[in-house]
Homo-oligomer: A and B are copies of this chain.
Amino acid sequence: MDTQELYRRGIATRKEIFGAEAVEKRMGALGEFGAPLQNMINAYAYGDIWSRPGLDRKTRSLIVIGMNAAINRAAEFKVHVNGALNNGCTAEQIREVCLLVALYAGIPAANDAHRIALETFRERGMETL
């Protein structure tokens, strides 16, 4: 497959998950300086790995949320909480991930994850639990 095709497939997938506006905004924020990284994200992350069969998007979202909480990447965690909700995950499922974070990466990681998840729910106007 041509890498431009990979890029196009990836950006389409990415916009389905996060919404076109959010993706444009994120890509624009890093401008020309960020173009090679955006190519990695669009072509390799979304055009290749996220486009593979073998796991549905909801499951991928929950796994990615768990990893980002565990490795302490707050901005990426928040992006993927939004993605998970767009993919049809519920606040309850996201909470279960955050509780697993407490077991495997510790309570401070789980505290941070809960706080950001709840903040994201509120920004979306969700009635949470």
Contact = CB atoms under 8 A, between A and B. Distances in A.
Nearest to A128: B33
Interface string A34-53: 10110111001100110010
Interface size class of A (residues with CB under 8 A): 35 or more
Interface string A82-109: 0000000001110111111111111111
Contacts of A100: 49, 60, 63-64, 67
A99 B66 contact: no
Interface of A: 1-3, 6, 29-34, 36-37, 39-41, 44-45, 48-49, 52, 54-55, 59-60, 62-64, 66-73, 75-76, 91-93, 95-112, 114-115, 117-118, 121, 128-129
